[in-house]
Amino acid sequence: SMVLPGISGSFILLIMGIYDDAIRAVSKMDLKILIPLGAGVLVGLILVFKVLGFLTKRYWNATMSFLLGLTLAGIVKIFPTSMNAIIFLFLGVSFLLALKFPKFFGE
């Protein structure tokens, strides 16, 4: 599952270099690996929710812009390569409009 758009648990495991170990532990029900992994996931979720809560209370616009950016960046992976130029053009125009008209976008 994803707490942040575009950042899945599998992606985090890949970055940490333990994806294969985690998959193997799940398939063999290896509790020596699954219990610490589950505890880490739980602590990680709590921390992410607390940080997101803090950021949205203090920096609503910037936090929402960041999350929207993560979501829009994920579109590049969803659409075929031929669509990338159109998507980047759309994102670029959106960014320039946000710079030009910040009051419209909440700043």
The model's pLDDT over 48-102, given as tens digits with 9 standing for 90+, comes to 889 989 998 998 888 888 887 777 776 666 666 666 677 777 777 877 777 777 6
* Pairwise CA distance, residues 62 & 30, whole Å: 42
73 alpha-carbon distance from chain centroid: 10
Query: What pTM was computed for the model?
Result: 0.60
Q: What is the CA radius of gyration of the chain?
A: 18
Token pair for residue 4? 């942040």
Instruction: Name the residue range of residue 19's domain.
Output: 2-58
Q: How many domains does the chain have?
A: 2
Are residue 84 and residue 48 in the same domain, yes or no?
no
Pairing of strands 7-8, 2-4: antiparallel
* Pairwise CA distance, residues 104 & 106, whole Å: 6
Are residue 54 and residue 96 in the same domain, yes or no?
no
